[in-house]
Structure 1
Amino acid sequence: MLQISTGPDRFWEVDYRATDDLRLNGQAFTWDVATGAPGHFQVLHSGRSYDAEVVSADYATKQFVLKINGQRIELRAKDRFDQLLERLGLSNAAAVQVNELKAPMPGLIVDVRVQPGQAVQKGDPLLVLEAMKMENILKAPADGTVSAIKVGLRDNVQKGQLLVQFG
């Protein structure tokens, strides 16, 4: 059973494990789906046809953006484990809280690509560390804001040394 939300006050219970059909809020939901180009679908329901496109899908956070007949819809899914954590007051327990980036190995800082106060998203390049004649791009481990850069260009760093702090 999934709980799907499209906003703070719009929820649906979806049972996708029903033997013969999909159930939406306990009622049978009859539909046909035809695939088109990657991420594009034709959905038939109650005599109507809908053009559906998956704009983005983040399976880790269970957040999806769809376009249905050109209208953008943001969905969030919660499985039974997410719902249990929420009932126990632990819904943010899995959220990644990163306050710093440390050097994964000794090396030389050959490029600094961010500055204090800059907002970064997970995967954005922060620094370039040269180690064993190879350049390693150190990326943001999570979304955040750079509060301080603790190294400078051409600094030699040791494994575990603090490089960047996030605020």
Structure 2
Amino acid sequence: MLQISTGPNQLWEVDYRDADTIMLNNQPFTWDVAELSPGRFHILHEGRSYNAEIVSADFGSKNIVLKLNGQRVELQAKDRFDLLLERMGLSNANAAKVNELKAPMPGLIVDVRVQPGQAVQKGDPLLVLEAMKMENILKAPADGTVASIKVNLRDNVQKGQVLVQFS
């Protein structure tokens, strides 16, 4: 089950088992979809014709931007895990500002891929930490700007040591 919203007042519950069995707010949803080209579709629903285009899709944050008959529509999806975290009061855990990256384990810094002042996005590689004969790429935990790098190439680091600070 997914919960899809297009704003604070537009919320739908979508349950799908396969492409032919879709329930929208506990009612059967019937449609005919034809892919015109990658990311472009023609949809028939209740006697109406729609042209849909996927403008962007961020599957990590579950944000999708569509053009539906030329009009921009932003969708935010929440799966059952997102909804459970929300009920537990943990939905804002990802929104917290991250001020630093700490070493997840002891090891040796074998590559530094950023510099102070550089803007990074969540998931961008920052450093490479060699531990137990394996190279681990340490990635940005959130979008931000590198304020300072607290280690140098070939430094030995301890678990929990601050490696990068963000502004």
Q: TM-score, normalised by structure 2?
A: 0.70
Unaligned runs of 5+ in 1: 130-135
Deviation of 1:127 after TM superposition, in Å, equals 6.4
Counterpart in the other structure of 1:133: none
Structure 2: give runs of 5+ residues left out of the alignment.
130-135
Moved more, 53-62 or 99-108: 99-108
- 1:6 Cα shift? 0.9
For 1:106, what is the secondary structure of its paired residue?
Answer: strand
Question: Scaled by the length of structure 1, what TM-score is found?
Answer: 0.70
Structure 2 distance, partners of 1:9, 1:63, is: 17
**Residue type at the aligned position of 1:120:** V
Q: 1:149 to 1:107 in 2, by over 3 A?
A: closer
Shift of 1:107: 5.2
Check conservation: 1:43, 1:49, Cα contact below 8 A.
yes
CA distance in 2, matches of 1:20, 1:156: 56
8 Å CA contact retained: 2:115, 2:148: no
1:159 shift after superposition: 4.4
Q: 1:126 to 1:41 in 2, by over 3 A?
A: same
C-alpha displacement of 1:31: 0.7
Q: CA deviation at 1:142?
A: 2.7
User: For this pair of structures, how many residues does the alignment match?
Assistant: 157
| Aligned-pair CA distance for 1:80 | 2.2
1:27 CA drift (Å) = 2.7
- Offset at 1:101? 5.4
2:55 aligns with: 55
- Asked if structure 1 preserves the Cα contact closer than 8 Å seen for 2:125 and 2:138, the reply is yes
Q: Do residues 114 (structure 1) and 115 (structure 2) align?
A: yes
Relative distance call for 1:151 and 1:59 in structure 2 (3 A) is: same
In the aligned structure 2, how far is the partner of 1:19 from the partner of 1:56?
A: 21
Paired position in structure 1 for 2:155: 157
Q: What fraction of aligned residue pairs are identical, expressed as a percent?
A: 62
Task: Confirm or deny that 1:2 pairs with 2:26.
Answer: no
Matches within 5 A, 1:13-92: 13-17=13-17, 21-92=21-92
- C-alpha root-mean-square deviation of aligned residues, in Å? 3.4
Distance 1:77 1:16 in 2: 14
Task: Give the C-alpha shift of residue 5 in structure 1.
Answer: 0.5
Give the match's secondary structure for 2:90.
Answer: coil
